[in-house]
A = this chain, B = another copy of it.
Amino acid sequence: MSESSLAVTDLLAVLAYGELSAFDRMAEDARLAPDHARRAALSEMAGAEIANYRRLVDRLTQLGVDPVAAMAPFVAAIDDYHDQTEPRDWLEGLVKAYVGDSIADDFYREIAGFLASPDRELILDVLHDTRHVDFIAGEIRAAVEADPKVASRLALWARRLVGEALSQAQRVASEQDALTELVVHGSGDLAAVNALFKRLTAAHTARMAVVGLNT
């Protein structure tokens, strides 16, 4: 397998395991919901994740790759991220979905630009439904407006989520050369990678402001 097709395989695999875990954790976090309508909303987001998992795994299979073996190198980092960021209540669960999914989407949207068809379109297609993101943002904003003390607690929680995500992303980057190469070469050079991370950070800060949280 060429270096670039290995990178594509890695990217599809890390996304696939990310979706499988996101399904699992969101389904669990949905139980923290205060009522059935809200529980269903997060459950539906989880349902979208597992549907995306299937599409990514089908593409891996089509490329002649064993999906389970391809996902294996990413299991520990993603599981550790979730183990370190178990929400204690409904709002923490919502912030986790809002922050984590959005940063992941921004990152994958950037990376998709480095790929050829049909993988580019597949990755753009499995990004999260904005309808779900809007629902979550509305819930968080309402909670923050109703009780300003909630804002500082959730802002702290969001910082922990970002810190943990960065730490696991660094771990993956240091272990997965092909994937790291894809990001560096796709961006152009290390300065461009730096600019990419600045864009991700700026978008995160703007999203936090939308729901009334400081970064």
Contacts and interface: CB of A to CB of B under 8 A. Distances in A.
A193 interface: no
Contacts of A47: 23, 46-51
B44 A50 contact: yes
A24 interface: yes
Interface residues of A, number: 28
Nearest to A45: B50
A19 to B, nearest CB: 9
B23 A67 contact: no
Q: Which 8 A-B pairs have the closest CB atoms?
A: A27-B27, A47-B50, A47-B47, A43-B50, A37-B68, A23-B43, A36-B68, A44-B50
Given A24-B27, A24-B39, 13 more contacts: A20-B39, A23-B27, A23-B47, A24-B31, A27-B27, A27-B46, A28-B28, A36-B71, A36-B75, A43-B50, A43-B53, A44-B54, A46-B46
Interface string A42-84: 0110111111011001000000000110010001000000000
